[in-house]
Structures are given as C-alpha cells and as structure tokens.
C-alpha cells in the first residue's frame, strides 16, 4: 500500500503538493496551540487542562469543527463561535506559512 502511495504521488505532483500542504496546515495548527500553551505557561501534553483546545476568552472547549486549520477561522469570520471574541490573524498566518514551507521543502527535495 505504501509503495502505491509513493507511486501515485510521483505520478500526480498536485496530489503530493496537496498532501504536503495538508501536513503543513496540521503542523502549523499544532504549533500555534503549542506556542499559546507555552507562552501562557499551561500544560500542553499531560493533565486535564491539556486535554482539549479551548477559547482563551470564554474557556469553551472547542469542537472538532472549530479546529480545522484556516477553514474554521474563515467560517467563523475570525471570531470565537461561542463568545464572539476576535481571534488573531496570527493563527491562520502561521498555518499558511507552515503549509507553504512544506510545499517548498517538497519542491526542493523531489
Ligand atoms: Zn470564546
């Protein structure tokens, strides 16, 4: 199966770049989570507080639909879906930057 995946990615470069961008978005989303938790001196790996992402303003635990990189931010118009607090553009920018970096790395090492 893994060999077939490598074959398809070689045959369809758009698929490879899409996969790289998707991995970059997920990593970027995780990095924003990590930066926030470290800056706020909150646990990020273990413990009850580290279990789920939540709004820093209203502390509502975010649902899966709120955690989709870029798309959730766009769909909520840059605001918390629960309290309306503005969400910084820094979050989607980090996700987009991470996706672009992943695609550049793929381009350089293909
Ligand atoms: Zn909120």
DSSP codes of every residue in 42-72: --SSSSSTTSS-B-TTT-PBPPGGG-STTHH
Mean pLDDT of 66-93: 92
Residue 82 carries which DSSP code?
Answer: T
Distance between Cα 34 and ligand 1 center (Å): 18
In this prediction, residue 47 carries a pLDDT of: 67
Which residues does 76 contact at the CB level (< 8 Å), separation at least 6? 66, 87
Which residues have their alpha-adjacent CB atom under 5 A from ion ligand 1? 55, 57-58, 80, 82-83, 85
Query: Per the confidence metrics, is the pTM higher than 0.75?
Result: yes
Q: Which residues pair with 54 in a beta bridge?
A: 61
Distance between Cα 79 and ligand 1 center (Å): 8
Whole-angstrom Cα distance, residue 35 to residue 62? 17
Which residues does 104 contact at the CB level (< 8 Å), separation at least 6? none
Distance between Cα 58 and ligand 1 center (Å): 4
Which pLDDT band holds residue 33 (cuts at 50, 70, 90)? confident
Distance between Cα 52 and ligand 1 center (Å): 14
């Amino acid at each position: 199966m893994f060999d077939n995946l490598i074959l398809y990615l070689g045959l369809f470069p758009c698929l490879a770049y899409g996969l790289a961008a998707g991995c970059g978005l997920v990593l970027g989303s995780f990095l924003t989570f990590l930066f926030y938790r470290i800056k706020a001196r909150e646990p990020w790996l273990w413990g009850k507080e580290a279990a789920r992402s939540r709004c820093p303003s209203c502390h509502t635990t975010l649902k899966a639909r709120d955690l989709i990189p870029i798309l959730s931010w766009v769909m909520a118009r840059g605001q918390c879906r629960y309290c309306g607090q503005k969400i910084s553009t820094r979050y989607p920018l980090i996700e987009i930057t991470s996706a672009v970096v992943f695609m550049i790395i793929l381009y350089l090492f293909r």
